[in-house]
Amino acid sequence: MSEHVIELQDVRRFYVVGDFVVKALDGVSLKIPKGAFTAIMGPSGSGKSTMMNLIGCLDTATSGYIFIDGVMTNDLDEAELAFIRNQKIGFVFQ
Ligand SMILES: Nc1ncnc2c1ncn2[C@@H]1O[C@H](COP(=O)(O)OP(=O)(O)OP(=O)(O)O)[C@@H](O)[C@H]1O
Ligand SMILES: [Mg+2]
C-alpha cells in the first residue's frame, strides 16, 4: 500500500453556526509515514479534534482529500468507512 499511513491534502472543515462560518480547518496538508510516532499539538480551538474526527472517518471534510493507508476516504460508503474505523484506526479519547 502507501508509504504514508495518513495523508491530508488541502483539507477544510467549516462549521456553519447561524450566520457565522467557523473555519476549524482551512487548508491542512500533511503526510504521516508508516511507523511514525506523531503528536498533533496546538492551542485550544486550533482544530486538533476536528482533524482527528476526519482522520478517524467520524466526520466529513468540507473540501480536500483524506487518504488512510493509501485509500481515499472521501467517496467511501458507510460500510467501507466502518471497515476503516474497525480495522485501521484506534482512538483513545482524552
Ligand atoms: N460542532 C461544531 N460546531 C461549530 N463549531 C465547532 C464545532 N466543533 C468545533 N468547532 C469550532 O472549531 C474550532 C476548532 O475546534 P476543535 O475542537 O477542533 O479544537 P481543538 O484543537 O481540539 O481544541 P481543544 O484543545 O480545546 O480540544 C473551534 O473554534 C471550535 O469552537
Ligand atoms: Mg480537542
Is residue 92 situated within a structural domain?
no
Any domain includes 60: yes
Cell numbers representing residue 15 in the block? 462549521
C-beta of 24 in contact with ligand 1 (< 6 A):
yes
- Which atom of ligand 1 is nearest the CA belonging to 42? 21
| Band (86; pLDDT cuts 50, 70, 90) | very high
Residue 4 class from Cβ within 10 Å (0-12 exposed, 13-18 middle, 19+ buried)?
middle
Would you call 87 exposed, middle or buried from its count of C-beta atoms within 10 A (0-12, 13-18, 19+)? exposed
Q: What is the mean pLDDT of the chain?
A: 94
Range of the domain at 47: 4-87
Domain membership of residue 78 (yes or no) is yes
Is the CB of residue 48 below 6 angstroms from any atom belonging to ligand 1? Answer: yes
Closest by Cα among 48, 55, 16 to 32: 55
- Residue 72 covered by a domain: yes
Smallest CA separation from ligand 1 atom 8, residue: 50
27-38 b/e (C-beta count within 10 Å ≥ 16 → b): ebeeeeeeeeee
Mutate which of 16, 26, 44, 62 for ligand 1 pocket (most atoms within 8 A of beta carbon): 44
Predicted local distance difference test score (pLDDT) of residue 64: 98
pLDDT exceeds cutoff 90 at 94: no
Residue 65 domain-assigned (yes or no): yes
Is residue 93 domain-resident?
no
pLDDT in tens, 18-58: 999 999 999 999 999 999 999 999 999 999 999 999 999 99
Q: What is the three-class DSSP state of 71?
A: strand
What spacing in Å lies between the alpha carbon of 26 and ligand 1's midpoint? 13
Read off the pTM: 0.94
Q: Has residue 94 been placed in a domain?
A: no
Residue 49 belongs to a domain: yes
Task: Provide the domain count of the chain.
Answer: 1
Q: For the domain that residue 46 is a member of, what is the CATH number?
A: 3.40.50.300
